[in-house]
Structure 1
């Protein structure tokens, strides 16, 4: 533990648990008479994950949070966030390898999700990772084996322009 985290009080209450990275809040489920638990990553205003929470013995109030439950919730929320980040990365970064006259060429498409002007960078690299060509293209550019091969076969001219 670092000095900074030793000064930070960690709350451990029946409906609220917190460590340096995560906060668990047991909340009333808006959809029914039950309870839910919301997991917040430190510094985020929106929950990373919300799931059902168990009723207590009185069948009215939620079961209190405890250390074991908190650890399980942190693992679940962390895995959910990790998978979401991997999915977003995969959506924004694509690659296809095709053959050219000079060997294998990897064509990469990296989408830059700018709110006002999204675009993508289309890059061709040789087998050792040297950039052969790179162009800014529309964010909706479709990269697949056929479009990559067509670009390589056209000597890597800027798509839609007819020139390098």
Structure 2
């Protein structure tokens, strides 16, 4: 029995689609799910960098970019700058998503005759029929009531107490709430 060398894997065939779509040019970098493009700043003589998340039509973040040594052209992108831009853009998107979630899902706990009741407002941003669901749960998490309200309903401590005190009757749709 002779020891024949085991066949070497074809490394070129093993390149992932992520690696094959990676671009590293002075004004355009793509990788890690993001594209950084250095663009002319229309507001002045400087440059900006736009960070676009893969699959998204618009930039998630656009910010100023450094001028090069010649004071006319932009500084070229490099690995460190790209990684910093990806981190910054990812954090920006995450904060935006958290803010949107907080806007669409609100919760207040109030004390009523029966004990502590958690009142939630969940806005459904449907393009055709936007609405919100106002719900109440007891301390054990058991549902007490749920009603559909206008997406403009303002959940506050006073509106939650009023809803509980009114035996969970649907609040009137009022523009001044």
TM-score, normalised relative to structure 1: 0.92
Paired position in structure 1 for 2:79: 67
Segments of structure 2 that go 5 or more residues without pairing to the other structure are 1-13
Equivalent residues of 2:137, 2:145 under 8 A apart? yes
Matched, 1:128 2:128: no
> Hey, what's the Cα distance between the residues in 1 that align with 2:156 and 2:63?
37
- What is the aligned length? 160
CA offset at residue 6 of structure 1?
5.0
Equivalent residues of 2:69, 2:75 under 8 A apart? yes
Paired position in structure 2 for 1:21: 33
Equivalent residues of 1:5, 1:20 under 8 A apart? no
Matched, 1:85 2:97: yes
Equivalent residues of 1:39, 1:50 under 8 A apart? yes
Indicate the SS of the match to 1:90: helix
> Hey, what's the Cα distance between the residues in 2 that align with 1:98 and 1:130?
15
- After superposition, what is the alpha-carbon deviation per residue over 1:81-101, rounded to whole angstroms, capped at 9, x for unaligned? 011111111111111110122
Indicate the SS of the match to 1:148: helix
> Hey, what's the Cα distance between the residues in 1 that align with 2:18 and 2:75?
29
Matched, 1:159 2:171: yes
> Hey, what's the Cα distance between the residues in 1 that align with 2:118 and 2:68?
57
Moved segments of 4+, more than 4 Å = none
Paired position in structure 1 for 2:65: 53
- After superposition, what is the alpha-carbon deviation per residue over 1:37-63, rounded to whole angstroms, capped at 9, x for unaligned? 000001011000000000000111100
Paired position in structure 2 for 1:142: 154
Pairwise CA RMSD: 1.7
Indicate the SS of the match to 1:85: helix
Equivalent residues of 1:48, 1:81 under 8 A apart? yes
